[in-house]
Amino acid sequence: MKSIVIYYSRAGYNYVNGEIKNLKIGNTEIIARKIAELTNSELFKIEQTHPYSNDYSECIDEAKRDQRLEVRPEIKEFPNNLKDYDIIFLGFPNYWGTMPMAVFTLLENINTDGKIIKPFCSNEGSGFGRSIEDIKRICPKAKIKEGIAIHGAIIDEEKLEKWVKGSE
């Protein structure tokens, strides 16, 4: 089965283990790269046309506003030829109990019928929140498999590899 890793990740100033740190690569991207390496998958990063501020406090305000208003931020591009893939590894950070709104933009504009979706998220202790239910609602004709929630970017490689192999 052919797979693709589609993810949303934010570098820059982020909340990590109780403090604000400037990350060169976002936590979700670190995880996505590892999954792509384990599965020999293509990577596709969801990028907003107008990214949130690099300043953590401003980013929080912008992202919370978008979530409250159910905004669907415009994204730069969509993955090509999704029909060629059987499995979509879908990654995102947990933003107040669900996915960032740009992930909603993507999912609402691609055809996931018949696809296997394996969600993964980075978080600071809140797990998936309601994001799995949101994915099931947006992608009713996809098979949503068990996901993996990872605290920050602390990857238990054995656990991640076992999860990845469980998708085949």
Domain that holds residue 59: 3-165
The pLDDT tens digits for 117-138 are 999 999 988 899 999 999 999 9
Q: At what angle do helices 157-165 and 27-39 cross, to 10 degrees?
A: 60
Query: Can you give the CATH number for the domain in which 157 is found?
Result: 3.40.50.360
Token pair belonging to 88: 């979509």
List the beta strands (DSSP E) in 111-161. 116-123, 143-144, 148-151
What's the rounded Cα separation, in Å, for the pair 60 and 24?
18
Tell me the pTM: 0.95
Token pair belonging to 1: 């089965």
What's the rounded Cα separation, in Å, for the pair 117 and 135?
9
Number of domains forming the structure of the chain = 1
The alpha carbon of residue 116 and the mean position of all alpha carbons in its chain are separated, in whole angstroms, by 15
The pLDDT tens digits for 57-89 are 999 999 999 999 999 999 999 998 899 999 999
Residue-averaged pLDDT of the chain:
93
